[in-house]
Chains A and B, each alone.
Chain A
Amino acid sequence: MDHIASLAGKDSLSRRYFMEMSAKLSLGVGLSVPFLPRQLKAQGTGKAKNLIYIYLSGGMTHLDTFDPKRGDVMGNTETIDTNVDNMKMGQHLTKLSKQADKLAVINSMFSTNGAHEQGQYIMRTGYEKRATIVHPTIGPWAERLLGKQGEVLPDSVVIGQSTSNAGFMDPSLSPLPIADPGGGVPNTQLIVEGDRFNRRMEMAQKLGQQFTEKFKYSGPDSYVEYYKQANRLLKSDELSAFDISGESNASDYGNGRLGQGCLLARKLVENGVRVVEVVSGGWDMHVDVEGSTATRIPELDTAVATLLADLESRGLLETTLVAIGTEFGRTPDINMNSGRDHFPAAYSCVLAGGGIKGGTVYGETDGQGKKVKSNPVTPEDFIATIGYGMGLNLEETIYSPTQRPFVFGNHGKAVTSLFG
């Protein structure tokens, strides 16, 4: 029987009940594994040991990037050739066009969610947003299915967000949120140093000891443990994995948050973090799509092209799956404000590294980018494809504390032909 299910027993326990009774000594940073790592059941290729998921929030225009067409729908965006014959790109992807042989482009994504919140939710969890449960993102899923990877660093990190959660899974699986890639882990600068800090800590520990002797509860004990761990982290070299200030190729990535986020993601993956999400906004181009693409797409181009080259030169590309996702595409018809509106009927996502067969174009839209013509891919399929690359068991049922069954990718069909 599944571990959670056996703990929860027949009388279903609420999420809160479960969390309160479950192991509390862990929240990602340098703590023990909450669930016993099981026999690693490799599924799919499993070549991708790590994942960098670049999430473009707002809805990336597919026509101006990876699915260019001819005629009016393109506005003033021109189409360029790439180093792969059958792959074309929008004019701003100049650097990526030279690495097209590393990419698998899916041009047949479609979703039924035309609102940002809902669209983003399913593209990051594989599940429709509901009002009765919160689904985990890929990081907690991977840790739950594969066991914790590192010892001190968390298993998953989300960059560009100040909060995170593990959905219905144990909170210890929550990705560590890093709001600003340049800022690192918040609150790691001591207010006072040296003896004075030690004096403070000693007094606090004495008080804590009395309290934990008085009350035999896991709560206060866990805080004592967290203080130990925090102190260890503050003194540890591993903290430097979050510091990108000394990286020699920092400017190659671009100075914006997307570029710096990709740089931090590379560094974290190199140090043993399994899943890094880089969330970047600014893609909701209802007004002046030409002006917006001229700034956002080159930023994406520089960041991803540098990331792929950097991973390759470090020998990490074969084991690191890089994914670019977004909630929907944008209308082929340009609106009265020279912008493009939401368009979930057809859009593009990209995969690279981690066993992906580069130079692949999968699926096709019609001549105006309005309709998927072949090989449709849903958000669930896309998430399942990532899971397939990471070797996650797509059929292993995990029960929520309320006994609802879930599988990674919600039974989406992995596009296995993308893998070499």
Chain B
Amino acid sequence: MNKLPCLKPVRILVILLAGIFTLSAQARTWTSTDGKSMQAIFLGIEGDNFKFKMQNGSEIIVPSDRFIKADQEAAERLDLIGDDSYTLASARQIDTLLAQNLKKNGFSSFNDPLPDDLFVRRVYLDIIGRIPTKEEFLRFAESAREDKRQALIDELLISPGYASHLFNYFADMYRLNASEAFVNGIRMDPYIQWWRDQLAANTPYHEIVTEMLTATGNVGQNPASGFLLRDTGMEFDAFANFGQVMLGIDISCAQCHDHPFDEWTQGDFYDMAAFFGNTQRSLGYRPSSAMMGGGRIEMPNAPEGWKKQFEDYASSEHGINMRDQADRQFRYFVQALGWNVADNEALETVLPHDFRGSGGKPNEVAKPKTLIGAAAKTGGKTRREAVADWLTAPDNPRFSIVIANRMWDRAFGRPLVGPINDFSDSSIRGAAQPEVLKFVTREMQRVNYDLREFMRILYNTRAYQSIATAEEPDWGDDYAFQGPVLRRMRAEQAWDSMMLLQHGPEIDEKKGADGSFYKALLDIDLSEASNEEVWEHFQAWDSTSRNRMGFAVLASEGNMTPTIVDDKELRASELPQPFTNASMLDTFGQSDRIITDDHNFDGSVPQVLALMNGPVTERLTGLSSKVVVDMEEYDGPDDKVRGVFFTLLNRFPTKEELALGTGMIEDFGDDGISDLAWSLINSPEFLFVQ
């Protein structure tokens, strides 16, 4: 049941794609200084030479100085991010498919092409999550390079801001939260840092997912285990979240009854959940009873009697009675080590005693069975390995559709099929752009879940590079994607833009606490560690806890000497997750990371008050603010007005705006500049991505 009729496995796909993209038709044309040209795939720079792959499959090396300047510039760009022949051909294919449907829907073509100034603001916000500086804006506006749009997209995709901005998206989707649902200071910082690292390294998405699903150990030994530890004690909720983010279906209702609209039964829910049925999240630690004094803490991954033997050691060598209530810290330390993912064959998923749906009986043991698509191949694998392989297999298109559709939504502001975390197979069949959905799903597989390359395709489409649709399309309507829709900035985009305005583009490089100290504390193999080693870890734990420094702000060089990172003037992705103390992020709708995709884009009176009168406004627009001080370099009021517009809205002022602004500056000098800056930040245009 629920099989997609049209999608074919990836192996067939490669052949199909070869049909679509014949090299002779698609490869970039390279021109030499003496006017000769060739079509080839660029493979990289080797010393003073460029390396190419020709249509017949052979590789050639050509001295770089034989090419014209434009091609030399292109080579330098492509050397960093890879050839774009397929990228651009793929973008054109998307445009062709969309254009066919546009005609059918009565549009003559896409919205008008985006002018340079709007383009540069949009790609900075969409790709690296902040507005451009005045200098970045002008550099682009003044560039005469023919491929300057492709070049800027590529430059942004390989800059650190790209991963930072994408992190905010996944942090919301995967509910990255350093301390939610945990007591006694057990934290997720190493897991959160792992996410930052994966995105910075552009790890293929299916590898990220597989690593999370199959992880064992604690967050110190294996940070990816944080995914499963996130919902310890709420295992069925954890499973429901797995369904939403990885399969794009909300199956939570089937926990209590048969699904009302889809074909799944309550029994199907538990059978699928059984893939996680022998996953043990916390070793012997029972959250509710332990706090009441009734819980017993055991360390099954440690030698028998480990704890008692260590306590004896601490008592005899250091004169400390670990069982003393005053040394609560030892209990917390052991608990933290005990949040530890393992496969335990003694565990099973059991149907609830009040099971009332079909496909099972009360108190029955559920056997792992997939909810949709093909059966999972289980031979020689753990249950979680089996489900991870099933999920990411080429013949399970659902996984690719979900991530392709999400990435599409990020670029255009509307998904191809929605809602992004809960759509049925009939929604897929009924999508308004079925060919495009099919095509981008294949492309996600062709690029091997390289999200950066996938986004590179979308940003290079004519559809994306159109002005935003002027009228808000209805949610129920089948949007034709004549251009992106207007979107309010995410809270993090607004915050990061404000950080930029205060601190300049260096803010992209600045790092916050990375969880490394906490990671080092927990990274112990108790089956091998000596008492002295464990003692060293515990001492580091104990001293930091007692000083109340809080693990959230501690980093280290992978050792047990912490450094405090107390700087809060950082991009949102580098702050503790989520950052509830920064009223701006919270006020503007940053998700509190309890449920998935919970960012709020609505306005509010408190937001408006914060922009009008809040402390950040003074820092952004006061007399000593960067924007006001920077205008000293310009002489006339006209140029100062343009400078303020370039800085805050990244566009040229209209004639009328110029006259108004000039008047303010002529009458009131620097106060006038400050007033103008305040007005721009307090106009809705500032908060929107057009």
Contact = CB atoms under 8 A, between A and B. Distances in A.
A and B from one complex: yes
Interface of A: 10-17, 19-21, 24, 27-31, 112-118, 129-134, 162-163, 165, 171-172, 176, 185-192, 196, 199-201, 203-208, 210-212, 214-220, 222-224, 226-227, 229-230, 233, 331, 335-337, 341-344, 402-404
30 contacts: A16-B598, A27-B602, A27-B603, A27-B606, A29-B606, A115-B287, A130-B234, A131-B234, A131-B238, A132-B241, A133-B595, A134-B594, A163-B580, A163-B592, A188-B613, A191-B618, A200-B678, A201-B682, A203-B664, A203-B675, A204-B680, A206-B656, A207-B657, A208-B685, A212-B684, A219-B684, A227-B612, A229-B608, A336-B324, A402-B253
Given A14-B421, A207-B657, A215-B690, A404 B600 contact: no
B325 A206 contact: no
Given A115-B288, A187-B613, A223-B684, 18 more contacts: A15-B595, A20-B602, A27-B606, A114-B292, A117-B180, A118-B288, A132-B241, A134-B595, A162-B581, A191-B622, A191-B678, A206-B656, A207-B680, A219-B488, A222-B602, A229-B605, A233-B605, A331-B292
Q: Determine which residue in B183, B487, B602 has the highest number of CB atoms from chain A within 10 A of its CB, and name it.
A: B602
A171 B604 CA distance: 9
Contact of A230 (B241, B427, B488, B605): B605
B609 A132 contact: no
A372 to B, nearest CB: 16
The 4 closest A-B pairs by CB, nearest first: A14-B419, A131-B237, A207-B683, A203-B679
B292 A219 contact: no
A20 B601 contact: yes
B325 A336 contact: yes
B472 A218 contact: yes
Contacts of B487: 219
Nearest to B660: A203
B605 A226 contact: yes
A206 B604 contact: no
Q: Determine which residue in B253, B326, B605, B683 has the highest number of CB atoms from chain A within 10 A of its CB, and name it.
A: B605
Contacts of A133: 252, 595
B688 interface: yes
Contacts of B240: 131-132
B572 to A, nearest CB: 16
A132 B239 CA distance: 10
B231 A131 contact: yes
Q: Determine which residue in B244, B326, B594, B661 has the highest number of CB atoms from chain A within 10 A of its CB, and name it.
A: B594
A131 B182 CA distance: 13
Nearest to A116: B183
A211 B261 CA distance: 42
B325 to A, nearest CB: 4
Nearest to B609: A187
Given A162-B586, A208-B683, A115 B598 contact: no
Contacts of A131: 175, 181, 230-231, 234, 237-238, 240-241, 594-595
Contact of B671 (A15, A196, A229): A196
A418 B608 CA distance: 44
Contact of A191 (B244, B419, B471, B613): B613
B468 interface: yes
Contacts of A215: 468, 470-472, 486, 688, 690
B605 A28 contact: yes
A226 B603 contact: yes
Q: Determine which residue in B181, B289, B608, B676 has the highest number of CB atoms from chain A within 10 A of its CB, and name it.
A: B608
A11 B684 contact: no
Contacts of B475: 13, 17, 20-21
B424 interface: yes
Contacts of A171: 600, 602, 604
B597 interface: yes
B618 A204 contact: no
Contacts of B654: 210
B106 interface: no
B600 to A, nearest CB: 6
B608 A227 contact: yes
B364 interface: no
Contacts of B287: 114-115
Given A15-B595, A226-B605, A200 B675 contact: yes
A402 B613 CA distance: 37
B299 to A, nearest CB: 21
B160 interface: no
A162 B580 contact: yes
Interface string B645-675: 0000000001011001100100000010001
A112 B421 CA distance: 32
A222 B682 contact: no
A191 B623 CA distance: 12
A30 B605 CA distance: 9
B592 A112 contact: no
A219 B422 contact: no
A120 to B, nearest CB: 12
A230 B601 CA distance: 19
Given A10-B261, A186-B610, A216 B605 contact: no
Q: Determine which residue in B238, B487, B676, B683 has the highest number of CB atoms from chain A within 10 A of its CB, and name it.
A: B683
Given A21-B475, A162-B586, A211 B605 contact: no
Contacts of B180: 117
A132 B671 contact: no
B291 A342 contact: yes
A118 B676 CA distance: 48
Given A16-B599, A115-B288, A204-B682, A226 B608 contact: yes
A222 B589 CA distance: 15
A134 B592 CA distance: 10
B403 interface: no
Nearest to B614: A187
Contacts of A188: 609, 613
Nearest to A30: B605
Given A17-B419, A165-B592, A215-B470, A186 B183 contact: no
A215 B467 CA distance: 11
Nearest to B667: A199
Nearest to A230: B608
B326 A337 contact: yes
B606 to A, nearest CB: 7
B422 A223 contact: no
A404 B419 contact: no
A219 B586 contact: no
Interface string B401-427: 000000000000000001111101001
Nearest to A219: B488
Contact of A226 (B581, B600, B607, B656): B607
Nearest to A176: B606
A360 B326 CA distance: 40
Nearest to A163: B586
A223 B603 contact: yes
Q: Determine which residue in B487, B595, B618, B675 has the highest number of CB atoms from chain A within 10 A of its CB, and name it.
A: B595
B414 to A, nearest CB: 10
A99 B609 CA distance: 42
B298 interface: no
Nearest to B469: A215
Contacts of A14: 250, 418-422, 597
Given A115-B287, A215-B486, A337-B326, A344 B292 contact: yes
Given A131-B238, A219-B688, A404 B253 contact: yes
B252 to A, nearest CB: 5
Nearest to A342: B291
Interface in B241-299: 241, 244, 250, 252-253, 260-261, 287-289, 291-293
Contact of A117 (B181, B261, B678): B181
Nearest to B605: A29
A176 B683 CA distance: 24
A344 B612 CA distance: 46
Contacts of B600: 16, 19, 171
Contacts of B660: 203, 206
A42 to B, nearest CB: 31
